[in-house]
Structure 1
Amino acid sequence: MPFASGTGADIYYESHGQGTPIVLSAGMGGSGLFWTPQLTALAANHTVILYDHVGTGRSSRCERTITGMADDIVAVMDHAGLDAAHIVGHAIGGIVGLELASHHPQRLRSLVVVNGWGRADPFLRRCFEIRKQILNQSGPKAYVRAQPLFLYPPSWISENIVQLEAEEEKILAHFPPIATMNQRIDMFLDFDVGKRSAAIRVPTLLASAKDDALVPAYLTHELAKVIPGARVHEVAWGAHAYTVVTPDVFNRTLLEFCAEVDR
């Protein structure tokens, strides 16, 4: 699979399917593999781009600003020959999408932010401070083992524990340096979309889960108040990674929204 460059780093990405393009940006882990539950459904009628954030996965291991991460998406799109695309971001991937919409609006057909935020509140800060403590005091293995507690509903964890434990070693094999993870967490907690939100004019869908225990759904509603015309789609169950827990629900919502924009 190809690498995009031009931003001082090599960015690993994959292209699947054919049709109106959709670029998927992952959350804190940064790996395009996060979107595996979406790939088959979306690639049936779209060109789907998955990529690894710089500093994570198979991309160059160096630090980035949020603006730099938005520029990385532009570099991937340029390398893939895409003028504009539906940009879909989960959590911090959604923040990068907001930054992209502020700086390069012509490159977006639409923006979808999944369980994201425009400004971190005290609850979100405490959650990430705890995750940083686990990482810094107990190491990556403990961090990865604790991660499902922040991402998935308790019953889903119990029912899928064998799968989750099998995935731990794969995640650890590509785990970013601890310093990079600390920098990423601090950067995204400091993000504040502020007045730039009023300038976002692309069709915007803000998706959230009511039972998200990491990024509460009220942060999505707060973001919707400051983006003109933003639409909120909220599911009752699935927690922070409901794209994995109930992929059919998310895939249907995303495809319907993209089809509406494309019409």
Structure 2
Amino acid sequence: MPIVDVPVTGGISKAGYFVTGTGPGLVLVHGTGASGQANWGPLIEALGDRYTIVAPDLPGSGDTRDPGGPITIRDLVAHVVAAARDAGLEDFHLVGHSLGAVVATATAGLHPDLVRSLTAHAGWVKADPQMVFQFELWKRLALEDPAAMARLLLLTAIGKETLRTWGQAEFEQAAAAFTDLLDGARAGVARQAEANMTIDVTEFLPHIAAPTLIISSADDRIVPPYHQQDLADRIPQATLLRVPAGHGLPAENPALLTAKVAEHLDQVR
């Protein structure tokens, strides 16, 4: 995996990113506790023959090693831009999920000359008290009990209709996989959860010039749909699309997310 030096608060981050494919640039930004390649596997597979895909690992995730400490929105944006430029992209389409959606919107506002289109799923402008309460719990569980956090995420990130179709074996298998992921990145997940509480992208939104698709999951119990409505109202040229799923759409129904991203990209190419 390529590594690029990124100047950030406190020093230099050794930022890892995944790159594949050929064609116009497409940068994918992952959510809390994930990594670029893990979050976006089905989308990478579906679109890798049409785009040069770059998926950076944000501070606290994957192969990125940063100085530690609080994660700021400008440092997160710096990782996205540095990975894209190191991969040779002059400009790019941008897709983000959850924390990645927040980072993607900030990137589009800070660097409107670089971003050709923006697709953001499950994003928000600024965490409200309910979300702060939730992310504080994530932070505590990430450090003290990753297995409990894995079970909490399953019950809140996956849509209720999908959960009704699962048997006991599916719950246990998914919980074990989540636990392995979280247990290997306790400090990073905790730092990203803290960033979720404090990030505010209000100032960047009016400067977004790219055609924007805001995707909102109707059964999102982590970042409720009114947050995506708020984003769409504040971003010029934004369209809001509601889909039947939970917050964890990339894992719950990757085919649906891939189809909606591909449709938006086809419209703006």
TM-score, with length taken from structure 2: 0.88
1:20 partnered with 2:56: no
Gaps of 5+ in 2: none
Q: Which one-letter code corresponds to 2:5 in the other structure? A: S
- Aligned pairs, number: 258
User: Separation in 1 of the partners of 2:175 and 2:139?
Assistant: 21
User: Separation in 1 of the partners of 2:179 and 2:231?
Assistant: 36
1:252 partnered with 2:259: yes
Q: Over aligned residue pairs, what C-alpha RMSD do you find?
A: 2.0
Call closer, same or farther: CA 1:9–1:246 in 2, change over 3 Å. Answer: same
User: Separation in 2 of the partners of 1:23 and 1:196?
Assistant: 19
Secondary structure in 2 aligned to 1:10? strand
Call closer, same or farther: CA 1:133–1:255 in 2, change over 3 Å. Answer: same
Q: Which one-letter code corresponds to 2:264 in the other structure? A: F
User: Separation in 1 of the partners of 2:182 and 2:124?
Assistant: 27
1:223 partnered with 2:231: yes
Q: Which one-letter code corresponds to 1:28 in the other structure? A: T
Secondary structure in 2 aligned to 1:168? helix
Query: Are 1:4 and 1:79, in contact at CA under 8 Å, matched by a contact in 2?
Result: yes
**TM-fit CA distance, 1:166:** 4.4
Q: Identity, % of aligned pairs? A: 29
State the partner residue of 1:50: 55
State the partner residue of 2:121: 114
Query: Are 1:56 and 1:176, in contact at CA under 8 Å, matched by a contact in 2?
Result: no
User: Separation in 2 of the partners of 1:92 and 1:98?
Assistant: 10
User: Separation in 1 of the partners of 2:55 and 2:207?
Assistant: 27
1:198 partnered with 2:198: no
Once the two structures are superposed, what CA deviation does each residue of 1:54-103 show, in whole Å capped at 9, x if it has no partner? 22222104343110110111110111000111111111111111221222
Once the two structures are superposed, what CA deviation does each residue of 1:97-127 show, in whole Å capped at 9, x if it has no partner? 1221222111111111110101222332232
Call closer, same or farther: CA 1:174–1:6 in 2, change over 3 Å. Answer: same
Counterpart mapping for 1:63-212 below 5 A: 63=69, 64-136=71-143, 138-154=144-160, 156-157=162-163, 158-159=166-167, 160-168=170-178, 170-172=180-182, 174-177=184-187, 180-212=188-220
Secondary structure in 2 aligned to 1:184? helix
Gaps of 5+ in 1: none
User: Separation in 1 of the partners of 2:225 and 2:4?
Assistant: 34
Counterpart mapping for 1:21-36 below 5 A: 21-32=25-36, 33-36=38-41
User: Separation in 2 of the partners of 1:165 and 1:254?
Assistant: 28
TM-score, with length taken from structure 1: 0.89
Q: Which one-letter code corresponds to 1:3 in the other structure? A: I
